[in-house]
């Protein structure tokens, strides 16, 4: 089996220099919820150094709340914001001799797209304006995944190694019990169980099927580097090949 290992980076909250070498794909913050041009340049350079694929990690324009608060923006404003973020990172990547290879929403926008058809369609329109051939990394079985595929945009599912799930397969809200997992052994063994059986357990102990190609660790999760290292080690021991999906 081949699995991609991705993480959110360029957010100035974690140790990117230690985390990026452990990844196959990096979701690079586009400056709307954190970071900025210099951080983008530094992060892209690290990705190039370690042969890690660059993806654009766009969000609501909300630095005050780190992009984790929903904003009810007019569709035209949201579409333009997303497009501007993608173009900003792409310009940095091209100047460094590479390019953005995939797209992924961050925080509240990721969760909103997973359930809200109008927001999903608005963002997908921006993605198509940017490059309709690029895949969207998103929550398996979500509205965003379904609408992307219906509109000719490739959608790739991901599993969150360090996040809890509700019974319906959506993510447990960050302010609720069991939302964030930080024990390296628990995170790695849960990921391996999913890889072997295709099943994930919710915070209530319910098992549900989760079809995905990529495994995610959040760069700002406490001990993110240790989590990623534990995942790589356990997957390698199990004969799982780490390979970027894009």
The tens-digit pLDDT sequence of the chain (246 residues) is 899 999 999 999 989 999 999 999 999 999 999 999 999 999 999 999 999 999 999 999 999 999 999 999 999 999 999 999 999 999 999 999 999 999 999 999 999 999 999 999 999 999 999 999 999 999 999 999 999 999 999 999 999 999 999 999 999 999 899 999 999 988 888 898 898 899 999 999 999 999 999 999 999 999 999 999 999 998 898 899 999 999
Crossing angle, helix 75-95 and helix 117-131, to 10 degrees? 40
DSSP summary character for residue 65: T
Tell me which CATH homologous superfamily contains domain 2-242: Glycoside hydrolase/deacetylase (3.20.20.370)
State residue 63's pLDDT score. 97
The per-residue pLDDT of the chain, averaged, comes to 95
DSSP designation for 71:
-
| Nearest alpha-carbon partner for 191 in 166, 227, 220 | 227
């Amino acid at each position: 089996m081949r699995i991609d290992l991705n993480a959110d980076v360029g957010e100035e909250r974690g140790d990117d220099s230690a985390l990026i070498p452990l990844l196959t794909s990096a979701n690079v913050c586009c400056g709307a919820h954190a970071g900025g041009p210099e951080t983008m340049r530094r992060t892209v350079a690290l990705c190039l150094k370690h042969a890690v694929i660059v993806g654009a990690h766009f969000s609501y324009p909300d630095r005050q709340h780190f992009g984790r608060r929903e904003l009810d923006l007019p569709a035209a404003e949201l579409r333009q914001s997303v497009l501007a973020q993608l173009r900003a990172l792409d310009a940095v990547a091209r100047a460094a001799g590479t390019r953005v290879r995939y797209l992924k929403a961050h925080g509240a926008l990721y969760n909103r797209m997973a359930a809200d058809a109008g927001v999903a369609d608005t963002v997908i329109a921006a993605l198509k304006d940017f490059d309709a051939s690029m895949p969207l990394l998103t929550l398996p079985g979500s509205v965003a995944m379904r609408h992307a595929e219906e509109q000719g945009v490739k959608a790739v599912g991901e599993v969150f190694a360090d996040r809890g799930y509700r019974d319906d397969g959506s993510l447990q809200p960050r302010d609720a019990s069991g939302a964030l997992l930080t024990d390296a052994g628990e995170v790695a063994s849960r990921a391996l169980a999913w890889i072997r059986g295709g099943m994930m357990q919710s915070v209530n102990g319910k098992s549900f099927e989760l079809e995905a190609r990529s495994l995610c660790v959040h760069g700002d999760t406490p001990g993110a580097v240790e989590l990623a290292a534990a995942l790589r080690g356990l997957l390698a021991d199990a004969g799982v090949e780490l390979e970027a999906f894009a």
